[in-house]
């Protein structure tokens, strides 16, 4: 595969949700990575109405707005095609995606919370369409492994200038 062109799908990085905050931290790192061609953002929450080119960290990023489906099932393929992306990273709960999500011809990497024991069938069904699921907890990785699903483990980021271990 040539250098990936990534469409990141989540809440907008300027909204104060957990997913939005993570997007604000991860997107600039992806944008700066030398092995990545380019990164765009599909905001299924936090950008309504029109395409925009907005500041995320130090970078101006192409930002695609939501469609009529609250979680982007209806329009993500159009945005993938418009940006000519070959990788889709979604930071969302996978159970809100349509059953065929990820089987549309691109590499889908769901960066997903896994907080059930055992892993529910809907997770197994959606992850079956994924190129590679990404989990951000060791618990999630263990639940997926127990269900026979290989994952990448990428913990959520924190501002280490602010949040750090302290001596007691």
* The pLDDT of residue 105: 87
On the CB side of 33, CA atoms within 13 Å amount to: 14
* The pLDDT of residue 166: 77
pLDDT tens digit sequence for 87-129 = 999 999 999 999 999 898 899 999 999 999 999 999 999 999 9
* The pLDDT of residue 2: 85
* The pLDDT of residue 160: 73
* The pLDDT of residue 1: 63
| Contact present, 139 and 164 (Cβ < 8 Å) | no
- The DSSP secondary-structure symbol of 156 reads P
| Contact present, 45 and 17 (Cβ < 8 Å) | yes
Which helix (H) or strand (E) is 103 found in, with range?
none
Residues of the chain with pLDDT under 70: 1, 158
CA 41 to chain centroid, in Å, comes to 9
Omega into 118 within 30° of 0, i.e. cis?
Answer: yes
At CB < 8 A and 24+ separation, what contacts does 63-67 make? 63/12, 64/7, 64/40
| Contact present, 11 and 23 (Cβ < 8 Å) | yes
Please give the Cα distance from 102 to 92 (Å, whole number).
13
Question: What is the pTM (predicted TM-score) of this model?
Answer: 0.91
Place of tokens 């949040």: 163
Please give the Cα distance from 106 to 80 (Å, whole number).
8
């Amino acid at each position: 595969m040539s250098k990936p062109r990534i469409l990141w799908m989540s809440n907008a990085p300027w909204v104060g949700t957990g997913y939005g905050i993570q997007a604000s931290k991860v997107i600039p790192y992806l944008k700066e990575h030398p092995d990545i061609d380019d990164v765009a953002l599909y905001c299924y929450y936090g950008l309504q109405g029109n395409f925009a080119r907005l500041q995320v960290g130090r970078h101006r990023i192409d930002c695609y707005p939501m469609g009529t489906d609250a979680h982007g099932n209806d329009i993500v393929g159009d945005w993938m095609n418009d940006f000519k992306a070959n990788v889709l990273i979604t930071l969302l709960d996978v159970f809100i995606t349509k059953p065929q999500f990820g089987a549309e011809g691109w590499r889908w990497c769901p960066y997903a919370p896994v907080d059930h024991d055992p892993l529910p069938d809907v997770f197994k069904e959606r992850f079956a369409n994924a190129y590679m699921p990404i989990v951000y907890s060791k618990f999630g990785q263990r639940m997926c492994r127990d269900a026979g699903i290989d994952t990448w483990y990428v913990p959520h980021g924190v501002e280490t200038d602010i949040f750090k271990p302290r001596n007691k």
